[in-house]
Amino acid sequence: MMVPEINLLPNLEKQKSAPILVYIGIIALVGIVIAYMIFLYFQARGEIKQLNAQEIELTSKQTQLQIELDGIRNMNAGTLEQSVQFVNHVSYPVTPLIDETQALLPEHTYLRNYQFGEENIEITADFETMSAISNYLDKLNVSPYFTDVQVGTIENFDLAIGEQNEVNAQDKYQQLPRYSVTISLAIDFIFLVGGSES
């Protein structure tokens, strides 16, 4: 007679294999999370280095621009200060001078430009003849508004009448030679301020 085999002990192999797979899965998952966090750490560390370098560069640019701005402000302040001093120093009536230079002009003469300085006035005028220039200079020399008259430049140019493309013998008679003269006039401030009113 055969004796049946009865195994009352539980099957241990099956119970052991299930928890090992769970542990392996958990360890793999934790490893993946740790690897991802390490990746994020190094990526953030690289970005921080890059941002620090950008911050240093921007700070350097800001310092440089601040120095340039301060320089421009100082230059403008100096220019403004110099302008105020110039205006205070050069404050004199110009209308009598303009009126005088225009009143003494010969006929067919045109004033082109005025430049006022601290002690003189420079004018540019167009004349028809050299004798007109000479007469104008004589009148300026005897004017009580000016102490000295100096001729800067005399340039001649042709003033053409109408549109002329070719210059031949007949057209030459249609051109008027003119002279552009720059004259510097030293101002007599005593007469300008006091004497001109009386």
Query: Partners of 158 in the beta sheet?
Result: 177
Residue 52 lies in a domain: yes
Instruction: In whole angstroms, give the CA distance from residue 133 to residue 103.
Output: 14
Question: Can you tell me which residue has the tokens 């002279």?
Answer: 179
**DSSP-based three-state secondary structure for 83:** helix
- Same structural domain for residues 44 and 78? yes
- Same structural domain for residues 110 and 37? no
Residue 154 lies in a domain: yes
Q: What pLDDT score does 116 carry?
A: 85
Residue 8 lies in a domain: no
Residue 1 lies in a domain: no
Q: Which of 57, 89, 121 is the last residue of a domain?
A: 89
How many CB atoms lie under 10 A from the CB of residue 125? 21
Q: What pLDDT score does 198 carry?
A: 43
Query: Residues in the chain, how many?
Result: 198
How many CB atoms lie under 10 A from the CB of residue 57? 10
pTM equals 0.49
Asked if residues 133 and 169 have their Cβ atoms less than 8 Å apart, the reply is no
| Exposed / middle / buried, residue 122 (Cβ in 10 Å: 0-12, 13-18, 19+) | middle
Asked if residues 110 and 125 have their Cβ atoms less than 8 Å apart, the reply is yes
Residue 11 lies in a domain: no
Q: Please, what is the end-to-end C-alpha distance for the chain in angstroms?
A: 164
Q: Which of 89, 104, 124 is the last residue of a domain?
A: 89
Q: What pLDDT score does 17 carry?
A: 55
Closest of 127, 106, 102 to residue 182, by C-alpha: 127
Asked if residues 120 and 186 have their Cβ atoms less than 8 Å apart, the reply is yes
Q: What pLDDT score does 167 carry?
A: 52
Q: What pLDDT score does 118 carry?
A: 80
Q: What is the pLDDT of residues 76-99, one digit of tens each?
A: 666 666 666 666 666 778 888 888
The mean pLDDT of the chain is 79
Q: Which of 61, 89, 117 is the last residue of a domain?
A: 89
Q: How many domains does the chain have?
A: 2
- Same structural domain for residues 127 and 99? yes
Q: Give the residues of the chain that fall short of pLDDT 50.
A: 198
Query: Partners of 175 in the beta sheet?
Result: 160
- Same structural domain for residues 105 and 141? yes
**Range(s) of the domain holding residue 40:** 16-89
